[in-house]
Amino acid sequence: MIASFLNKTGHVANFALENYRTVNSDWYTTICLPEVFDELRKNNRKRRTILHHDSVSSHTAQQTNKFLKDKKVKLMSHPAFGPGTL
């Protein structure tokens, strides 16, 4: 499995999950997100970051929410239903 991150101008980072590992909040907040934010803020340390998450457990975990709050990252809301599912 590959976790990919994009911003409005294109590719930011990819992370391979080795040995069929699953994504959990520990991996997400200690390995994945710090590298993504470092890459995003490389050219502008004061850059505002807005992240779009769906409702998977690694995104909604208390550890993830605390990490994002500490980094002053805003979350974009995710609709309960996608287009055409109503």
| Residue 81 maps to a domain | no
pLDDT score at 76: 86
CA distances from 21 to 16, 55, 60, 84 (A): 9, 19, 19, 33
| Residue 21 maps to a domain | yes
| Residue 84 maps to a domain | no
| Residue 82 maps to a domain | no
| Residue 28 maps to a domain | yes
pLDDT in tens, 28-83: 999 899 999 888 888 777 778 888 888 888 989 999 999 999 988 988 877 776 66
Coil vs helix vs strand at 33: helix
Task: Give the structural domain span for 32.
Answer: 2-76
Work out how many domains the chain is built from and give that number.
1
Average pLDDT over residues 9-25: 83
pTM of the model: 0.75
| Residue 85 maps to a domain | no
| Residue 31 maps to a domain | yes
